Chain A
Amino acid sequence: MNRLSTYLLVALAAILLLLPLWANSGLVFLTGTTIIVAVFALSWNLLFGYAGLASFGSGGLFSIGAYTMAVMLRQGYEGQFLLLIVLATLAGGVVAFAIGFVALRRSTGIFLAILTLALAELLRITLAKIHWLGAEDGIPSIVRPTFSIGFATVDLSRGNSYYWFVCIACALLVGLTWWIAHGRFGRTLRTIRLDVERAAFMGVDTHRYRLVAFTISGAIAACAGALFAPWAQIVTPDIGNMMRSTQPILFTLLGGASSFWGPLIGAFLFSAIEFSTRTLVGIQEIITGGILLAVVLMFPTGVAGAWNALIAGLSARPEPAKAAPALQPVKE
């Protein structure tokens, strides 16, 4: 990452941290939601951009995390909040592992995408039928917990403290994801996306790597869901619906799948669009659709791709622009 981008990132982080001090509480709430779904999108891209697997059912894992957290808080375990986050994360990881174990050996690509979509829908329908989980209306009035960490008591129920908690937790998750993506494991994963057969001929057990990536991605998605439950203070089966599952895809592609930061950029961009057009009721779809189209047509490598190209263009000597070839050249 170049210096300018680093400065921007730091500046953005600072703005996010200081936001509650000056912004409208609706904007703060939206930003908190965006931070959480941005991490959720990041977990999806760990699978897509690094292991080359596209899941259309990530909303299901998000909702597993959210429901686990909601149920445990309702049962009165708020004192063990940190443990609950770990538990919800594990729950997502276990479910993802089970799905991956059965599905990954047999299907990848679009089939995996549709399979995960079907599983997520099944989960949603099932949740909507369980009275104990509030059926369609879900679990409301989730408390923002107060818990003790040995030497101090953390009270997240007051004011904006849960916002900052979300900021810190998500920063840790982003760091973790960055580390996974950029370390040896991430490097090997990338070879699997780029050429799975070649990777196998380096002795890489590609199936196992994919399974591990699927599990980690699912765990992070569930963790994001777990953070979301006390944030929204209500979970409903729709928390894992198809729109939720398309969210990370949209964010990632909008921001740029080839960049680690792409999903985050996409998430914030999308939220900014939604917030700035919130009063234009009745034509929301056309506005959102139109802006998406414009972005896709203008920056076909995502915003991060366009940004990197811009930086490269500024730092390198100018080169004559060249049109893309009319038809795919097959061999040079």
Chain B
Amino acid sequence: MTIIRLSSVDKSYGSLKVLHGVDAEISEGETFAIIGPNGAGKTTLFKVMTGEIGCEAGSVEFLGKDVTRDPAYKRTRAGMGRTFQVARVFKEMTAEENLIVAVEARLQNTGKSDAPWYAVKPSSATLDEVHSILVRLSLDKKARTPASELSHGDKKRLELGITLAGRPKVLMLDEPTAGMSPSDRVGVTELIRDISGKGSGLTVVMTEHDMGVIFGLADRIMVMNQGRKIAQGSIEEIRANPVVREVYLGKEAHHA
């Protein structure tokens, strides 16, 4: 079943056209990767999907509903969770508080808030959920650390946690391993695989430069160049595609 459908999306920044009639269909449960050289329009496409920016033409459908005009928070409520290239966490709050606000936001949005309206402290169920997320992200020892003092990798992990706290149907990851060391990359790749494993039913849409990460996770890949989709298919199909090799992969065999 198709969970996200993009139909002929156009987007310009001023006079610069960055997306030319992009189509895409993402099926439920799959891990879908968007790759392409810098400036190909990956991040822009991402933003159009999540509702950060609008598009001039075309439409975005989510769960069979047209959400082209919906702002980001509505799409998030409908089940899109997103992370950013440079991890964005609430720096003045501790790791724990970051997750508390995320869990509370979800409960509030779904109308299932369990703390009474006058309560100052979060409910114990919320705290339990927060702690289970912290443990899952191996951040439990840093629960009381202000997010601004976390390492780069930990921030990325925490941000993933914030997103997961929203219990999304689709996890949208914008370069989840950007700026990470190879070992961290392996860790995050495994974490994502673990989260989106079969049976979880979670759909993952990601952009990424590291082919190792892509080839380790993706079910299907879409390749973009200069605002256009130039190829789409399984890992093998993409590897074999001569156009893709020329514009993007180069002699990746050397150092992938």
Distance in angstroms between the alpha carbons of A268 and B82 in the assembled complex: 45
Instruction: Check if A194 sits within 8 Å of B73, measured CB to CB.
Output: no
Using A202-B102, A204-B105 as known contacts, say yes or no to A187 and B97 having CB atoms under 8 A apart.
yes
> Is the CB of B231 closer than 8 A to any CB of chain A?
no
Name the contact of B104 in the complex, choosing from A182, A188, A206 (C-beta under 8 A). Answer: A188
B84-102 interface code vs A (CB 8 A; 1 in, 0 out) = 1000111111000100111
Nearest residue, chain A, Cβ from B109: A203
- By beta carbon, the residue of chain A nearest B159 is A198
Chain B CB within 10 Å, residue with most, of A182, A187, A332 = A187
Q: Which of A184, A195, A205, A332 contacts B90 (CB 8 A)?
A: A195
Assess the B120–A202 pair: CB atoms within 8 A: no
Task: Name the contact of A198 in the complex, choosing from B90, B106, B109, B122 (C-beta under 8 A).
Answer: B90
- Count chain B residues whose beta carbon lies closer than 8 angstroms to a beta carbon of A: 36
B105 with A203: CB separation less than 8 A? yes
CB-CB nearest 8 A-B residue pairs: A203-B76, A202-B105, A203-B77, A194-B90, A203-B109, A200-B72, A198-B88, A200-B73
Which residues on B are within 8 Å of A, measured CB to CB?
50, 52, 71-73, 76-77, 81-82, 84, 88-93, 97, 100-102, 104-106, 108-109, 113, 115, 118-120, 122, 152, 162-163, 165-166
Question: By the criterion CB–CB under 8 Å, are A200 and B90 in contact?
Answer: no
Whether B91 lies near A182 (C-beta < 8 A) is: no
Contact B120 A194 (CB under 8 A): no
Q: Which residue of B lies closest to A206 (CB)?
A: B73
How far is the CB of A194 from the nearest CB of chain B, in Å? 4
Question: For chain A residues 103-155, which have a beta carbon within 8 Å of chain B?
Answer: none
Please state if A201 and B81 are interface contacts (CB–CB under 8 Å): yes
Q: Number of A residues contacting the other chain (C-beta, 8 Å)?
A: 22
Which residue of chain A is the closest to B106 with respect to CB atoms? Answer: A203
**Nearest-Cβ distance from residue A208 to partner chain B, whole angstroms:** 9
Q: Is the CB of A197 within 8 A of B162?
A: no
Q: List 28 A-B contacts (CB under 8 A).
A: A179-B118, A183-B119, A184-B108, A184-B119, A187-B100, A188-B101, A188-B104, A188-B105, A188-B108, A190-B93, A190-B101, A191-B90, A191-B101, A197-B72, A197-B88, A198-B89, A198-B90, A200-B72, A200-B76, A201-B50, A201-B73, A201-B82, A201-B163, A202-B101, A202-B105, A202-B166, A203-B76, A203-B106
Tell whether, in the assembled complex, residue B92 and residue A190 are in contact, meaning their CB atoms are under 8 Å apart: yes
How far is it, in angstroms, between the C-alpha of A206 and the C-alpha of B52 when the chains are bound?
A: 13
Measured CB to CB, the closest approach of chain A to B175, in angstroms, equals: 15
